[in-house]
Amino acid sequence: MTHPSGQADSLRVERVRGPELRRGLFNLTVSVIPAGVFFSALLFGCVPLLCAAIGMDDRSFGVIAALPAAVVLLQIPASFWLARGVRRRTVVVATGFLHRLLWVPIGIIPYWMGPSAEAVVLVMVLIALSHATGSICGYFWQSWMADLVPPRKRGLYFGKRFQLFHVVMLAMSAVIALSLPTTDAAEQAEPLLRALAIIFTVCSLIGAVEMLLFFRVPEAPRPAPAHPPALRTLFTPLTDRNFRIAVGFAMLVTAGTAVLGPFLWQHCIRWLHLEAWKITLMLQAAPIVAVIVMGPIWGKSLDRFGRKATLLVSVLGGTLVTFLWFLVHPSLWWLGILCGLLGQLFWSGVDLAILQMMFGFAQTRKTHKGASERSSTGSGGVYLTAFNVLNASAAVTAGLLAGQIAFQLHEAQWIHDLDASLGVVQFSPYMVLLLGSVALRLLALAIFLPRIPRDGRQATNRIVLTMATLVYAGMTQWLEKAFRVVSPRPRTGRDQS
């Protein structure tokens, strides 16, 4: 085939097969354990707690929330680096080490300096550097996995991999919750900063072990094309109708998540004034339990019903659950555990379906003539870059706007008057962001979802009944395992002999 720029594509990809593939997938699965330890501190509550402890306001926190998406712009030069045939495993390991080890000073410096403007600036700079290296690492990892894992096995494999990942995170969340002080997260800074310094240091060092395990995961060599694609090829995916629909849906859903997700922590810390361990249970441990149960189930749903039906059920269900957050207050804080559990139960399906869409655009295919072919027209790496950059631009815009809106509304008198008049219903500036998140997700369902091509093997109208059956079977299986651990079967005469 030819590149959009008109040059011939000489890139050939040989698939890894047989025992080598099985060994590689096993090592890839084992690497989830140190990764789960690291991301248990990075992806959830420790970062918002750190920001609250050093006195960061909502505008600065909005910048922190937008950073993971903003650094995706680095994938534009990374895509041309990838097109030149660089070894993806080498880049993943090098940038992955930096990404993880930078969290050692992120934890230590605030404890050493204490709450101050200088600490806020240093933390923001170091977090930006860490996210930048993590973005490059993630980009090359996605391209690597798209060519390594066979398409027919991706849904189930990554569903089970995510399950193991979150089992590790659940165990670490319990450790983190026990390590955090029982005082108000927004009031008592010193004990919280000391605990966070230990947590970040230990988790980052363990997370670096994941990069060592990647040396045992194979990679098919990818020679550089004779003529690397030009910068204008980044706009080529926009000529693909299916790409425009997929990325439009992902942008709206991602914007809705960026508006709500990080600021729920602010709502619990700054408005409800809950203890750190309670917030960790609500917004970290409970969602992980949902992913452990639902990971393989959503994977089976994708394999049977396809992305369209899975996105319909998961986005709509997660949107309805969001309204329960209005009822969470200090004396009814445990309801937040239910909100976190049900919300992540649906969101894990959205996350896995969007990941499948990304892999579909990034996949390298071989034609019957032996030449490699990329998704639709153009390079798969360019498709992946365009998807990530557009999706990230929505998250950055939403995160920055949400921070500014929350900052402006925090002292607004009408917010306090409305909160007082609603009684049991909690209405904070962050609940305004919640309503905006709901609106964005409903727009995604109304505008883009009907245009996504149906790709499932079974009828869409059977998904709810099938998902209920799978959830029941999954819960029964987990209860049986727990019962066997607590009450092992008695030994028979044959066992004793």
The more confidently predicted of residues 341 and 152 is: 341
Structural domain harbouring 280: 18-218+237-478
**Counting beta carbons within 10 angstroms of the beta carbon of residue 340, is it exposed (0 to 12), middle (13 to 18) or buried (19 or more)?**
buried
Angle at 246 between CA 65 and CA 383, to 5 degrees: 85
DSSP 417-460: HHHHHTTTS---HHHHHHHHHHHHHHHHHHHTGGGSPP--SS-G
Of 9-18, 80-89, 286-295, 348-357, the least confident: 9-18
Tens digit of pLDDT for each residue in 51-75?
888 888 888 888 888 887 788 778 7
| 172: in domain | yes
pLDDT of res. 308? 80
Report yes or no on 112 lying in a domain: yes
13 domain-assigned:
no
Residues in a beta bridge with 366: 372
In a domain, 6, yes or no: no
The band of 104, judged by pLDDT with boundaries at 50, 70 and 90, is: very high
Lowest-confidence region among 125-134, 155-164, 168-177, 259-268? 155-164
* Backbone φ, ψ for residue 322 (5° rounding): -55, -35
Over residues 306-334, mean pLDDT = 85
d(CA 222, CA 86): 8
Give which of 447, 448, 466 is closest to 456, Cα–Cα: 466
CATH code of the domain containing 328: 1.20.1250.20
pLDDT, greater one: 263 or 380: 263
Return mean pLDDT, the chain.
75
Q: What is the pLDDT of residue 101?
A: 92
Structural domain contains residue 77: yes
Strands 364-366 and 372-374, sheet pairing:
antiparallel
| 4 lies in some domain | no
Token pair 């922590």 is found at: 265
- Residue 322, pLDDT score: 87
| CA gap 255, 357 in Å, rounded | 17
Q: How confident is the model at residue 229 (pLDDT cuts 50, 70, 90)?
A: low
Mean pLDDT throughout 199-204?
A: 90
Does residue 377 surpass a pLDDT of 50?
Answer: no
Look at residue 347 and tell me if it is in a domain: yes
Domain count, the chain: 1
447 inside domain: yes
User: How do residues 448-493 score in pLDDT, each as one tens digit?
Assistant: 888 877 765 545 445 554 555 555 455 555 555 545 544 555 555 5
Percent residues over pLDDT 90 in the chain: 5
What ranges in 363-428 are assigned the alpha helix state H? 380-409, 413-421
